[in-house]
Amino acid sequence: MSIYDDDVFRMACTQFKVIADYLNIDKNDRDRLMYPKRAIAVTLPVHMDDGSTKTFQGYRVQHHLTLGPTKGGTRFAPSLSMGETAALAMWMSWKCALANLPYGGAKGGIACDPATLSHRELEALSRRYMQEMIPFVGPHTDIMGPDMGTNEEVMAWFMDTYSVYQGYSVSEIVTGKPVSIGGTEGRRESTGRGVVYLIERAMDMLKMDPAKCTAIVQGFGNVGSVAALSLALKTGIKIVGISDATVALYNPKGIDVKAAEQHVIKKGNLKAFDQGDRIDPNEMLVMPCDVLVPAAVDRVITEKNAAQLKCRILAEGANGPTSPEADLILEKRWDEVFVIPDILCNAGGVIVSYFEWVQGLQSFLWSEMEVTDKLFRILEHSFTQVIRRAKENKISHRTAAMSIGVERVLKAKSVRGLFP
Ligand code: NAD
């Protein structure tokens, strides 16, 4: 029994073992590639508005330091555990390596429900988390970013807390911060934009006409809302289904995504948005559409629904949305469902975070056009490599993407030695 014992970590390990077998990785190298280098657990007492003191649990996992500092988001979610954090850190490692970024993977977060905290409580909790992490993170050690349940404001509190401790401004300690304090243009939109760039590439390959296509997007946060908006407004695809944690909406005539975005800005979620029929969130995933974008939580495509998916393209905006059991089913359906695996599909976020870090270290300011242009070039290169390897070796897109990432980390470890 390890401290990482958890279903999501087991899933990440199962995926890794498939790749390790495929690449014939020596048994002496497997565990050190798979297990995180470091894991930190912290206790976070916070004065609540009602006068009580509540104690939260926080985590940070740094998967490997072989290629540079670690990099990864910060998740605020009620069910967050050390194991889930470790799984997300491992996926970050393969994602960064696939995009050829000089990082190992990391992930962190707090087991909490941010929706139930007041603004003051959220700030106190965020600052306390960074305060506890100061000995373990740094612009050349581990750089944090946003993930589910966190946003630009939380990143600003992290940066400020770290900077106050150092006595000068250290903008490079976090990415995804507001542009006014050293964030980069185009970071907020980067993950969703990258998802849509890759969907367009896949449609091009499959000779699909976006004007005649429909899409369903699960999750309407940073990734899901930007992806849905960009699909509708940039490519002309009709969005027939959207959902968040409160509701799933389906409308074969099309949903006005701009109106949905405005509704969420005002009300905080889609609960009272009235365009479309309310349907079972699980059923939404198997409704007919050309493009399905899971952009919320992990393990929503499982052995129970993988055979029923009716999409032509499955674009994994979320991390780990497809279980290994579902992968086996999708592998058999390779000519029906074109999978854009998560470590490729949602890599836009970490790629632009890397640009933000580089700009911070060198005090450079790039325009949004420069950022987006450089983002698409890296995604194009990764996409081409994945498709080529999958075709040449007759393997799934996930196996191709992960094997490129794992291979790069293995190569670096073998020339460096046992330390990192
Ligand atoms: P977010 O907190 O901004 O939004 C999450 C959305 O998912 C919200 O609309 C929420 O209501 C919804 N949601 C939560 N549980 C749900 C459920 N069971 N069913 C349907 N909807 C549900 O988070 P985000 O930043 O958009 O991240 C979404 C996913 O994308 C996560 O898996 C995250 O790890 C991944 N990701 C995010 C980034 C990034 O840059 N933000 C980068 C790469 C990957």
Report CA(222)–ligand 1 centroid distance (Å): 7
Which residue do the tokens 């365009």 mark? 275
Domains, the chain, with CATH or none: 2-170 (3.40.50.10860), 190-340 (3.40.50.720)
Measuring CA to CA, which residue among 34, 8, 7 is closest to residue 19?
Answer: 34
> Which pLDDT value is given to residue 1?
54
Measuring CA to CA, which residue among 247, 346, 345, 237 is closest to residue 291?
Answer: 237
Q: How is residue 329 written in tokens?
A: 């089913």
Q: Which atom of ligand 1 is nearest to the CA of 149?
A: 2
Catalytic annotation on 391? no
DSSP 3-state of 406: helix
Report CA(108)–ligand 1 centroid distance (Å): 15
Q: Has residue 75 got a pLDDT over 90?
A: yes
* CA dihedral sign, ordered 413, 416, 417, 420: negative
Q: Phi and psi of 393, rounded to 5°?
A: -100, 5
**Residue 351, Cβ neighbours under 10 Å: how many?**
24
Q: What is the mean pLDDT of the chain?
A: 97
Q: Has residue 293 got a pLDDT over 60?
A: yes
Query: 324 - beta bridge partners?
Result: none
Identity of the residue numbered 299 = R
Which residue do the tokens 């632009």 mark? 352
Mean pLDDT of all residues in 396-413: 97
Q: Phi and psi of 77, rounded to 5°?
A: -150, 145
Q: Which atom of ligand 1 is nearest to the CA of 321?
A: 32
**Which of 11, 79, 222 has the most ligand 1 atoms within 8 A of CB, as the residue to mutate?**
222
Q: If pLDDT is split at 50, 70 and 90, which confidence band does 420 have?
A: confident
- 330, 314 Cβ separation under 8 angstroms: yes
For residues 185, 187, 188 and 194, what is the CA-based torsion angle, rounded to 10 degrees? 120
Q: What span, in angstroms and rounded, lies between the C-alpha atoms of 221 and 397?
A: 26
Residue 179 has what DSSP assignment? Answer: G
What crossing angle do the helices spanning 222-230 and 257-267 adopt, rounded to 10°?
A: 150
**pLDDT tens digits for 193-207?**
999 999 999 999 999
Mean pLDDT of all residues in 45-53: 98
Catalytic, out of 107, 177, 238, 413: 107
Question: Taking every pair of C-alpha atoms in the chain, what is the biggest distance, in angstroms?
Answer: 63
